[in-house]
Amino acid sequence: MIRHFLRFGALSLVLLGFAHGQVDGTRIEVANLRQDVALLNQRVGELTMSIEQLTRENNALQAKASQSYVTIEQLNKAVADANRAMQAAVADQKREVLQQVAGQIERLGKQTNAALDALAKSQVTRPVVQTTFSEDFPKEGTNYTVVNGDTLSGIAKKTGGKLADIRNANKISDDTKIRVGQTLFIPQGK
């Protein structure tokens, strides 16, 4: 249709040119119009090819889109599968954690039992606490005030007294029960 219109327009221009006596000018215009028409024909051909290419691409995309859609049923199945896999992984992880905790509790139980056994053995080997005291110790001696860091055996060495005499004179049943500031009588002590 465009071609017919352009040809009709070019023809009418030619006729007008003849009517006015402008034959040379008209020939130039006709040549220019022919060139414009050729360029337009070329451009229309390019556009037609582009439209055909776009149509092919559109058809390919529509075909691909129809293949890539999933149904709600397929989607629900995939979600259910993912949930089952996640629940199985969580259950496995719980089992592993419980096994680790059980192992730690068992190790702690063994350590506690070993500590209790050691404590029980130390109680057995602990010296018997003296509950009766002899009056058989020298009645002459000196007084000593317990200072921080003193032990009954250390006091005996410091003062030159005998440990048994110091225990009997001060009625000490447990050597670890002396306290800072306490005054002890040291028989025959310096």
pLDDT digits (tens, 9 = 90+) for 10-24: 555 555 555 555 567
Give me the pLDDT at residue 189, please: 64
Q: What are phi and psi of 143, to 5 degrees?
A: -95, 150
Report residue 7's pLDDT band, with 50, 70 and 90 as the boundaries.
Answer: low
**Is the pTM of the predicted complex or chain greater than 0.75?**
no
**More reliable by pLDDT, 94 or 65:** 94
* 3-class secondary structure per residue, 27-56: HHHHHHHHHHHHHHHHHHHHHHHHHHHHHH
Using the predicted structure, report yes or no on whether residue 164 has a pLDDT greater than 60: yes
Give me the pLDDT at residue 13, please: 52
Using the predicted structure, report yes or no on whether residue 190 has a pLDDT greater than 90: no
- Using CB atoms within 10 Å of the CB of residue 53, give its burial: 0 to 12 exposed, 13 to 18 middle, 19+ buried: exposed
Report residue 25's pLDDT band, with 50, 70 and 90 as the boundaries.
Answer: confident
- The helix (H) or strand (E) run that includes residue 168 is helix 163-170
Give me the pLDDT at residue 158, please: 92
Tell me the C-alpha distance between 87 and 90, whole Å. 5
Beta carbons of 180 and 130 less than 8 angstroms apart: no
Residue 144 CB neighbours (<10 A): 21
Per DSSP, the three-state class of 166 is helix
Give me the pLDDT at residue 185, please: 93
Q: What is the pLDDT of residues 102-115, one digit of tens each?
A: 999 999 999 999 98
Q: Which of 5-9, 31-35, 44-48, 151-155 has the lowest mean pLDDT?
A: 5-9
